[in-house]
Amino acid sequence: MDGANGDNGQRPTRTGRPPATSRAVLERVGFELFARRGFDRTTVEDIAAAAGIGRRTFFRYFASKNDLVWGDFAAELVKLDALLAATDPAAPMMDALRGAVVEFNRFDPSVVPWHRQRMALILRVPTLQADSTVRYASWRTLVTEFAARRTGRAPSDLLPRLIGHTVLAACIAAYEHWLTDEQASLADLLDQGLRQLAAGFEGPAPVLA
């Protein structure tokens, strides 16, 4: 018998990583495992064990392994909705939309490596694609509704739908480019992509001095 339950009456001492007590800590643990083992080969049990918690505790923070990759997506949608609502009504619609989307995707430099890993998983792991479709639809709905308000149309009309779909496509294209170039600025790529979208595809988008 080992000395963990000796005669001194003290409780066993846990070794290794201390128990995770937040969504952010669990995300970091999960991302570390995904980087070493791959997303598909990492289980919820693996993440919980590495974090020093039980499987049931994991599910208090996230409904699934996919949810961990996306983080608090509902809160992010609230943030985007607030940014869209706060845009200047006098500004051209696409300028206002571009400003809100670029601001939504600004991150502290310390967070950028983790966000890069998050987006690499979301955009490149096949098992996350179906989940991505559902979540991107929620993101796109906010943009579509914003466009509908600005154009005085119903969200079900073609123009707001078109704006919602194309803005999402421009953002995904910017992210895909960002993942291939570690020196690139995500904000600049999003800004450039949305300017090009607003200008059309017959020539380069205007660049502000």
Q: What is the pLDDT of residue 100?
A: 98
Q: What is the pLDDT of residue 22?
A: 86
Whether the Cβ atoms of residue 122 and residue 69 lie closer than 8 Å to each other: yes
Contact residues for 99 (Cβ-Cβ < 8 A; gap 6+): 87, 91
Rounded to the nearest integer, the mean pLDDT of the chain is 89
Distances (CA, A) of 71 to 5, 28, 30, 76, 170: 39, 11, 11, 9, 22
Low-confidence stretches of the chain (pLDDT beneath 70)? 1-21, 206-209
CA 70 to chain centre: 5
